Amino acid sequence: MKKKFNTAGLCIPERHYMVDISARVAEIKQMADDGEYFTINRPRQYGKTTTLNLLSRALQGEYAVIDTSFEGTGDSLFESEQAFCSRIFKRFSSNVKFTDEQFSVLLLKYQNEIHDFDSLSDGISSLIMETGKGIVLLIDEVDKSSESKVFLQFLGLLRNKYLARSAGKDITFQSVILAGVHDIKNLKLRIRSEGDKRFNSPWNIAVKFPIDMSFAAQEIAAMLTAYGADKGLDFDAAAIAAEIHKLTNGYPYLVSDICQTIDEAPDRDWTPQGVTAAAKIILYEKSTLFDDVIKNIENNEEVKNTVIAMLLSGESFSYNPYTFEQGILYGIFIEKDGKMAIHNQLFEEMIYAYLLEQQNIRQLARPLLSVEQGQFTESGRLDMELVLRKFREFMHREYRKEDGKFIERNGRMLFLAYLKPIINGRGNYWVEPETRENKRMDIAVTYSDEVFIVELKIWYGKEYIQKGLLQLAGYLDIQGESKGYLITFGLGQMDDAEPEWIKAEGKSIFSVIV
């Protein structure tokens, strides 16, 4: 069977091109060897199931492994203590039937003796003694059991046995490893009162899971090198991997999606430009991952307000895992240099597109429907100077009477709404999160094979324009660009200032005050 890239479920090294995660698996196995109990809680489609599968392989032989999931079992398993306890060993037996037949038969032997949590506890101890070696319990998709009080009671039983083992009063599983989006603290939010939702967890024995499951650029490059050798292709794996990492920040599913999109395209454009083209295709397609991100933004008002403040108002927030717990949990936010950032550029572009389609924003941007898109391109090249001149005219015509607060709140959003249909189909834009401070943000616009750096800044006086020029010049230097574009939202100041090209630190900058 020929190997291929895979974005549908479990990745298997023998069948799929994938980043080598053997070092991570070895680290997790060491935690199991040390007898630790822990939760692998990461966002959706972050490689949790693939990691558990490879971990199960690594543990086989040295341990008896119960690799299970309660997904697809239905609600009847969790109806009562008796229903759960009388069927759980049968469930375990079914899960190991094809990997350890002898162990499967042994699990069934105990099934009829278990009817409540006391007999389940005794059954676990007896099973371990008869097995003669450590047993590791892996439970995937624990979120599926998140509304079940019985499941949390089961975790409480495992906790009590773990504590008794530490005191030399019981024996229990060598290690218990759970995997899901939520950790156990979050699982109990659903059934506990508001007052005690954060503490007194039934899983307070669990150690932290510190292993980074995102992919580094070097790891992506190694995967691409192996793929290229198999296919007889000659390309710059390091440059392509760097571009993939820039867009995805190593989010496992997105890395595979870009690679699969390129591999399945007729021209197989394995270049940085091909990566950008693949990203554009992905952004125009619906996916369960993007749907999940939007759902989690819409279902959490605090997350949505934070996203809007960051992306549309240019606000900056210090990273705080308690204040922004839900957004971090769902993989929307990450920490970058002590600040909050959207996890990756693809998420950011997708969220921008979604927010710009909200009803209140569509209403504000309604005059944009009259913009003649073709006037900004000639021979396939984008005239960014003309884009900015026309945007200034548009703002003066449509919003001249609005106050400064309106412009500060909506100016950036209106520029992005203005820009989007102009570059639609031929280009993309990315907002650089590290510049989202002092009311400024830099936008990298790609169109065909050109890159345009545009800085958007709020007016704080004439001296701030000079500061903005120097900041943009420094950013252009980092990006290796010789010219850039500065939009200053003047809040009613300097309305008569004409757009002009200005030299700053050896860079040419087109400055427009709106």
User: For residues 428 and 247, what is the distance between their CA atoms, to the nearest angstrom?
Assistant: 12
Supply the pLDDT for residue 198: 40
435: nearest Cα among 389, 382, 474, 377 = 474
pLDDT recorded at residue 133: 94
SS3 483: strand
Provide the strand spans (E) within 173-259.
175-180
Q: State the pairing for strand pair 381-382/427-437.
A: unpaired
Q: Give pLDDT, residue 193.
A: 44
What integer pLDDT is reported at residue 459 of this predicted model? 77
3-state DSSP of 311-341:
HCCCCCCECCCCCCHHHHHCCCEEEECCEEE
pLDDT given at position 35: 97
Q: 207 pairs with which residues across the strands? A: 38
Q: Give the C-alpha separation, 135 to 174, whole Å.
A: 5
Task: Specify the pLDDT at position 479.
Answer: 85
Beta bridge partner(s), residue 334 = 341
229 alpha-carbon distance from chain centroid: 30
Q: Are 507 and 473 in contact (CB under 8 A)?
A: yes
- Contact call for residues 316 and 436 (beta carbons, < 8 A): yes
Q: Residue 55, Cα to own-chain centre: how many angstroms?
A: 23
Question: Residues of the chain whose pLDDT is less than 50?
Answer: 188-199, 438
This prediction's pTM: 0.84
Q: Which H or E run contains 345?
A: helix 345-355
Q: What's the CA gap between 24 and 194, in Å, rounded?
A: 36
CB 114 within 8 A of CB 123: yes
Check residue 209 and report its DSSP letter: -
Number of C-alpha atoms within 13 angstroms, CB side, residue 178? 27
Q: What is the pLDDT of residue 362?
A: 61
What's residue 20's pLDDT?
Answer: 97
**What type of residue is 20?**
D
CB atoms inside a 10 Å sphere around CB 267: 8
